[in-house]
A and B are shown apart, each in its own frame.
Chain A
Amino acid sequence: MDFSRRDTLALGLGAAALTMLPFRVNAAADDAIAAFTGGASVEDGGIDLGAPEIAENGNTVPIDVSAPGATAILLLAAGNPTPGVATYNFGELAGTQAASTRIRLAGTQDVVAIAKMSDGSFKRAAKTVKVTIGGCGG
């Protein structure tokens, strides 16, 4: 899905404060990914990312990630002023390589997860979450 600048409008959920977030082509997110992968190439697939299509509440959006065989998973909210959400590290005794959390999203954006696999490769998944002021449902 292509992003226009307007898509990143941060809509205050109470329809109150309204600010424009300039979308800097995910520069901070790209930096975080580069730091995590050390610049290695990243493939799509091999990691499941669960997120709602439309957030019921942008202040607490449930997200879950799962990547069998991963040693670490980096989770980013690409459109937030500070994209970093969490890095999960899995030891050898971890039963599953999965985690879930809730995150705050400033507006409609992609949530991105990068998994570092035990063989040193990197896997990627992303999902668009729409944050809306709501109303009008018939």
Chain B
Amino acid sequence: MISRRDFLQVSMAASALYGASGFGNWGRLAAQQRLTQDELLQFDAFGNVTLIHVTDIHAQLKPIYFREPEINLGVGDAFGHVPHITGADFRKLYGVADGSPSHYALTYNDFTSLAQTYGRVGGLDRVATVINSIRAERPDALLLDGGDTWHGSYTCYHTEGQDMVNVMNALKPDAMTFHWEFTLGSARVQEIVENLPFAALGQNIFDAEWDEPTDLFPPYKMFERSGTKIAVIGQAFPYMPIANPRWMFPEYSFGIRDERMQEMVDEVRSMGAEVVVVLSHNGFDVDKKMAGRVSGIDVILSGHTHDALPEPVLVGETIIVASGSNGKFVSRVDLDVRDGRMMGFKHKLIPIFSDVITPDADVAKLIDEQRAPYESQLSEIIGQTDSLLYRRGNFNGTWDDLICDALIEERDADISMSPGVRWGPSILPGQDITREDIWNVTSMTYGAAYRTEMTGEFIHVILEDVALFNTDPYYQQGGDMVRIGGMGYRIDISKPQGSRISEMTLLKTGEMIDPAKTYMVAGWASVNEGTEGPQIWDVVESYIRKKGTVTVSPNNSVKVVGA
């Protein structure tokens, strides 16, 4: 008798082979100048259940450039394991040829030249084409959105998420979970969710006052597709009131709540679920830990950390699928579900090369309708860049450095701080910077740029507090290192919290930061209510306008050790 474990490993091997050949083909085909939509979508249907996963779109309706992170450090058990492998090591691990389309899609190196060869990625009209093509073959496929959908652009901000709701509704998802959506404020979230034509799930979304589940966000939904009972359990971002302003959604409490996750898995199994899917915004390391603690989950569709992995990661008998961000990828997962259990799977991470995949005409028209009222604002050219602008992962990218420089100059500060986020498309050297581009990396509902005095000691406390490299993923609180301008420091991520940050140096004088001395600090995205100051996009726009052409020199002011 062949056990389920054998099946999983066999199909894992099959999937690995499939993936490897798929990657090889991309490189060869591109070399022959015939990377085609059919090749990108080619998939030999498997089993009887199909899942389509999109996540962390961050309101990117149109094709963009998106450079994958360069620095993605893993600590503790995560050290040296995906997704904490980048660049050439990543390509070596998955057998990706240098210069191939998958090199461009999955790693950061040679980004500028490869971007000129392969063009922009994403665009929800292209995503629609991919979804429609999968549904043509598998009409019962479930489309699941991992959240961070109604946040991240000029039009999303000005319509309070309505542009994204309208376009996503046209894609007809079956369920969704949440993170940045809540920064629209709980009243607006409730208004949208009450009218949402699909399930809004979160087993860990609780009423804060009573510490009880809510009616608006059920824990799971049961689907019956082609005679198979599929349970989809939602897991919203666990650290929302910590990483984002609690005062914007005071009625809600979150947390990991993995004991309740186990109860929900047991409940759906007792109701006859043959396959259990968790639609998660935990972030990859938290999902990995949760998969080891909660039994009975077949598939975790992982979001939040923006990792794009060409193969699922196996934890026990659970597969974890990571589908990237900003509309750059769609994951297709086919499952063989028989006799009440998952027997095997086949998976493909489909990169959305916008020049290769034909836009869906209806969705393209719908997107343009959302943008039309704002077109003149969006397209206004503010300046140019000489440098590649991107976010880099755990630490400052060049976009972050540009924002930090803008804060110091425009707000007359010694030191600047910018939040540790991974969203925001990249801009190539020589490209114009439009107002839309600035909003794509700054847009949020709490964007006021504060200016305040802090002692050297307090700056140290902040850096230690947000240095999130806890060896236990449950205590990492879901963000990256705050980006710092005007100050250098050394961080030893192998040390415990409280003793990681040293050698803090004020760059403009070269002097060490004095704990007792007071410094003028400018920043944005404070989680405190009542933060005052101009909006960050106006600060950055004013700075770029004055410069005309921006040049961001390499930032070597943060020394990372212990990685």
Contacts and interface: CB of A to CB of B under 8 A. Distances in A.
Q: Do A and B bind each other?
A: yes
Contact of A136 (B240, B421, B423, B475): B421
Contacts of B421: 136-138
Nearest to B252: A56
Contact of B478 (A9, A11, A138): A138
Interface of B: 208, 211, 237, 239-244, 246, 253-256, 259, 419-423, 457-458, 461-462, 464-466, 472, 474-475, 477-482, 496-499, 525-528
Interface stretch (A46-54, A88-96, A110-118): A46-54
Given A135-B419, A137-B478, A138-B420, A11 B461 contact: yes
B255 A18 contact: no
Interface string A49-91: 0101111110000100000000000000000000000000000
A15 B420 CA distance: 18
By DSSP majority rule, is chain B's interface helix, strand, loop, or mixed? Answer: loop
A103 B16 CA distance: 50
Given A14-B528, A135-B243, A135-B482, A6 B464 contact: yes
B244 A137 contact: yes
Contacts of B457: 18
Given A53-B256, A56-B241, 15 more contacts: A7-B496, A15-B462, A53-B474, A54-B239, A54-B255, A56-B208, A56-B255, A128-B475, A130-B477, A132-B477, A134-B477, A135-B466, A135-B526, A137-B419, A138-B480
A133 interface: yes
7 contacts: A53-B474, A54-B255, A136-B421, A136-B480, A137-B242, A137-B244, A137-B479
Given A7-B497, A135-B482, A56 B477 contact: no
Contacts of B480: 136, 138
A41 interface: no
A35 to B, nearest CB: 30
Interface size class of A (residues with CB under 8 A): 20 to 34
A18 B243 contact: no
Given A14-B528, A54-B242, A56-B255, A7 B461 contact: no
Nearest to A108: B497
Interface in A118-138: 128, 130, 132-138
B497 A136 contact: no
A92 to B, nearest CB: 29
B69 to A, nearest CB: 11
Which of A5, A9, A135 has the most CB atoms of chain B within a 10 A radius of its CB? A135
Contacts of A18: 457-458, 461
A2 interface: yes
A137 B444 CA distance: 12
A137 B248 CA distance: 15
